[in-house]
Amino acid sequence: MIFLFRHHFVISFAQKISQTPSYTKLRQLMIALTKFVSFLFFGQIFVHVLVVQVRIAF
């Protein structure tokens, strides 16, 4: 279910990209998306490390 939703999101995202007239807009979008994904990824790692530290502390 989640995979299907993600696949649909990727397809609609690609369609939006193909509809955008300028390449710079696409590049800005990709940079923003990459920053967001990396932020989520490192946020997850940070929270995980924080939880482990708290468990060790108590």
Task: Identify the three-state secondary structure at position 58.
Answer: coil
pLDDT tens for residues 6-30?
Answer: 666 666 777 776 665 667 777 888 8
Mean pLDDT of 27-52: 88
Distance between CA atoms of 42 and 39, rounded to whole angstroms?
5
Work out how many domains the chain is built from and give that number: 1
pLDDT at 53: 85
**Is 4 or 40 the better-scoring residue by pLDDT?**
40
What is the span of the domain harbouring residue 43? 2-57
Go through 31-42 and write b for each residue having 16 or more CB atoms within 10 A of its CB, e for each that does not.
eeeeeeeeeeee
